[in-house]
Amino acid sequence: MNLIQLASHGPVIPVIVIHRLEDAVPMAQALVDGGVRVLEITLRTPVALKCMAAITAAVPQAIVGAGTVRTVNDAKVAFDAGCRFAVSPGYTEAIGRACRDLGLPLLPGVATASEVMAANADGLNFLKFFPATAAGGIAMLKALHGPFPDVVFCPTGGITVQTAPQFLALPNVKVCGGSWLTPPDAVEAGDWKRITELAREASILFA
């Protein structure tokens, strides 16, 4: 898969933290039912890898990627779990090389012009802008567009259903990331209907 294709499935990539393995498949199905297919499952819980494998097996429409990939080993285990892409909060050459070697498309996080240049130097020009709101938000994305007109961003961090359209209106933004599609209380209660509604609302966001 070419990484930029991730942006062609809809305007929002949910950033997901799963604490209970049994929630993984119904949560993924709820998101897919709402029209959201690209799922970033973060490597922040002990069950994350099992959740990725379970979703890949049971929800074939889902395009599962690993989030919070911080090390080369994270990239390897995510690949082994069947992930089709990786998202990292920052960028290192080592992670870039590991993902290239694995054939695992990488969406690396950047927050400064120097980080954009480091990722560009390794052939990456579709980048996560993280933490989007804290790192300057819309003003920073506009400023980066001048020197980097060929770079496309997926801003993530602090974005809401209300603010996403303003990000999506920028010429250098094709998709946003956010955790608002899977609120912890809805997951805790098994309220999959609410998650489908949030996904449906996100899937039709436009600038």
3, 6, 7, 15: which one binds ligand 3PG (CB under 6 A): 15
Quote the CA–CA distance of 181 and 196 in Å, as a whole number: 8
List C-alpha distances in Å: 184 to 18, 69, 99, 138, 139. Answer: 9, 21, 30, 27, 30
The answer to whether the beta carbons of residues 31 and 39 sit under 8 Å apart is yes
Query: Which listed range, 47-55, 151-159, 164-172, 183-191, lies at the site for ligand 3PG (CB under 6 A)?
Result: 151-159
Q: Which of 103, 93, 153, 156 is nearest to 126 (CA)?
A: 153
96 binds ligand 3PG, rule: CB under 6 A: no
179 binds ligand 3PG, rule: CB under 6 A: yes
Shortest separation between residue 37's beta carbon and ligand 3PG, angstroms = 18
Q: Of residues 20-49, which lie at the interface with ligand 3PG (CB under 6 A)?
A: none
The answer to whether the beta carbons of residues 161 and 187 sit under 8 Å apart is no
183 binds ligand 3PG, rule: CB under 6 A: no
158 binds ligand 3PG, rule: CB under 6 A: yes
Q: Which of 141, 15, 144 is nearest to 88 (CA)?
A: 15
Active site residues: 40, 128
109 binds ligand 3PG, rule: CB under 6 A: no
90 binds ligand 3PG, rule: CB under 6 A: no
Q: Which of 183, 177, 176 is nearest to 198 (CA)?
A: 183
Shortest separation between residue 101's beta carbon and ligand 3PG, angstroms = 25
178 binds ligand 3PG, rule: CB under 6 A: yes
The answer to whether the beta carbons of residues 34 and 196 sit under 8 Å apart is yes
Which is nearer to ligand 3PG, 56 or 156 (by Cβ)?
156
Applying CB under 6 A, the residues found at the interface with ligand 3PG are 15, 130, 156-159, 178-179
